[in-house]
Structure 1
Amino acid sequence: MDLLALADFTLVARHGGFGRAARAAERPKATLSRRVADLEASLGVRLFERGSHTLKLTQEGRALFERTETLLTEIGEAATSIASGGEVPRGRLRISAPLLFSQMALGTLSARFALRYPEVRLEITTEDRAVDMVEEGYDLVIRVNPDPDERLIGRVLLRDRLVAVASPALEKPEPEGAVRAVVRASGSPAAWALTTVEGDVRMPIEPVLRLASLIMIRDAVRTGIGAAVLPLSLVAGDLRSGALVQWGDVKGKPIEIWALYPSRRLLSARVSAFLALLKEAFPLGQPEELTAYLTGESATA
């Protein structure tokens, strides 16, 4: 397999189109199109469905992209590290990260990083909005299901999923009956679409509490006041201990936590070092690895 063609396919898939990929890489659109067509010919499958104004990954294309993107990113990072000549990480490192991920893991990880790299002045700000990392001067941003941005590249750190959970003391409603629910203050759907052991169900909800943070919602659900939809990583420990029970998986797009950085400059040694720490902390990218930071199981990792 032509690795250059594979890299061009990954570039186009990441940016969602030949034009965007060409502008991000500052390369001719025709070259990228030819490389992808050659790769499709060598594999004997179509990797993209091409419409008049749209470009969509086929099932085969999605499978190839999911398997190769992280690998190619790691190869690029390894090459950058070698080219830097083993530079010692130093200087200021500014990171923006979402609230829940920060509360669960970044206190421990930032301390571990500071002990390992004392010459780096690490600064982490917590916010759920989509910051402009170039304009606002961030070296690295961590985001949940980020929108495509042709100026940035990155890697998936973790994959999570939403589950409906409740206290064992809370009874499920009768079919079509409304669930007493604890929901986000910013809004909630009228019903949950769940996949359960009995099959797919639609569960109408009746909000009894509206709270600002997912940790607040989890704590309220533990009391038995109502059920909630929460990330598996946040409640896996409660499910293991029996403090909560799972009613089903929420249907829809899975949760992906990404680390993103500018694509048009070499990574600094300090950014590479923090990315390596994240890879070390979450080697499999599974929600249980994030759960470990809530329980203290990762303290000596």
Structure 2
Amino acid sequence: MDLLALADFNLVARHGGFGRASRESGRPKATLSRRVADLESGLALRLFERGPRALKLTEEGRALFERTAVLLTELDEAAAAIASGGGAPRGRLRVSAPLLFSQAAMGTLAARFAMKHREVRLEVTTEDREVDMVEEGYDLVIRVNPAPDERLVGRIFLRDRLVAVASPALKKPAAGKTAPAVVRPGDVPAHAAAWELSARGRTRTLAVEPVLQLSSLFMIRDAARAGIGVACLPASLVTHDLAAGRLVHWGDVEGPEIALWALYPSRRLLSSRVSAFLEFLREAFPQGTPDELAAFME
């Protein structure tokens, strides 16, 4: 297989068209079109559906792109590392991170990483949806409790837990009574629900009645501070409020832990940029505790 033709096919697939690939790479559009046509002819496969206004990968084209994009990147990086004598990481590093983690820490983390690795162009996108790393061109994603994905490997770098907190002005309800609660839409039914709480080695059931629904955990925390109801929040988000007495701890919420994973495409050779970012996360969160994340919110 012609590696140059394969590289041009990946270039066109990544940019979604011959014109855009030509503008981004500086390679003639006619050359890209000819090399892709030669590759299709050699494989006896149609790799793109060519419409009057759009270019779309066929099923075979998508499979080829997903299998070869990482390999070509590794070849480029291996050649660059050899040429530079295995020097400092360099090039573009695209990261996707969830909203709460980004708001709490990513600005500071990104700045520190960029200052440490001056030749890496870090780009961070914040969103809670599960991005397709290969299709959307990400090098690394940070996800909370991700579902198993055989295409990805990674490691946990931070753990958190959920706690029930409220303003000191809000009294705990007596046994069998209901507490007003601030929740995210969809977290609990519109009617009363119950949280299982543990504190000082004892477990109790807290009946809650949602009185306010807010989409942001930061907004929920602020509403709980104001005293409208109890809230279920990550411990890292309320560490300083608990220490300052703005909120009080009603108990840890029973359920699965919150684990933040750094994930990347399964590959034998790992990009030096990704390796550097993984090591940077390990240094930033050596114990992986909620208090270490809370330190970024001071």
Within 5 Å, give how 1:133-148 maps onto structure 2: 133-148=133-148
> Which of 245, 249, 253 pairs up with 2:248?
245
2:233 equivalent in structure 1: 230
- Which structure: larger Rg? 2
For 2:282, the equivalent position in structure 1 comes to 279
- Name which of 262, 265, 279 aligns with 1:262: 265
Supply the distance in 1 between the matched residues of 2:121 and 2:89 (Cα, whole angstroms): 10
Contact 1:151–1:264 at 8 Å: present in 2 too? Answer: no
Pair 1:120-2:123 in alignment = no
Give 1:94's aligned residue.
94
**How far apart in 2 are the matches of 1:247 and 1:210?**
20
Q: Does 1:156 align with 2:156?
A: yes
Displacement of 1:198: 6.7
Tell me if 1:169 matches 2:172.
no
Task: Check whether the contact 1:167–1:227 (CA below 8 A) recurs between aligned residues.
Answer: yes
The residue type paired with residue 100 of structure 2 is L
Using the TM superposition, give the Cα deviation of residue 288 of structure 1 relative to its aligned residue in structure 2, in angstroms.
0.2
* CA-to-aligned-CA distance 1:14-58 (integer Å, 9 cap, x gap): xxxxxxxxxxxxxxxxxxxxxxxxxxxxxxxxxxxxxxxxxxxxx
Distance in structure 1 (CA, Å) of the matches to 2:201 and 2:126: 40
**CA–CA separation in structure 2 for the residues paired with 1:182 and 1:266:** 46
State the alpha-carbon separation in 1 of the partners of residues 179 and 294 from structure 2: 27
Q: Matches of 1:122 and 1:173 in 2, distance apart?
A: 49
Residues in 1 aligned to 2:110 and 2:212: alpha-carbon distance in whole angstroms = 33
Cα offset, 1:185, TM superposition: 2.0
SS where residue 136 of structure 2 aligns? coil
Report whether the alignment pairs 1:179 with 2:175: no
Letter in 2 for 1:242: G
Distance 1:290 1:187 in 2: 23
Q: Could you tell me how far apart the structure 2 residues matched to 1:102 and 1:198 are?
A: 33
Alignment-derived partner of residue 132 in structure 1: 132
For 2:160, the aligned partner's letter is D
* Equivalent residue letter for 1:256: A
Matched residue count: 214
Q: Give distance in 2, aligned partners of 1:88 and 1:279.
A: 18
Q: Which amino acid aligns with 1:125?
A: T
Gaps of 5+ in 1: 1-79, 296-301
Secondary structure of the residue aligned to 2:224 is helix
C-alpha displacement at 1:265, in angstroms?
4.2
Matched ranges for 1:178-197 at <5 A: 178-188=178-188, 190-197=193-200
Distance 1:198 1:275 in 2: 36
- Could you list the per-position Cα deviations for residues 148-172 of structure 1 after superposition, in whole angstroms to 9, with x for gaps in the alignment? 1111111111111000000111101
* SS in structure 1 of the partner of residue 186 of structure 2: coil
Distance 1:89 1:222 in 2: 44
| Amino acid across the alignment from 2:279 | A
Secondary structure (helix, strand or coil) at the match of 1:135 reads helix
Does the 8 Å contact 1:160/1:232 carry over to 2? yes
Residues in 1 aligned to 2:116 and 2:202: alpha-carbon distance in whole angstroms: 49
Q: Which runs of 5+ in 2 are unaligned?
A: 1-77
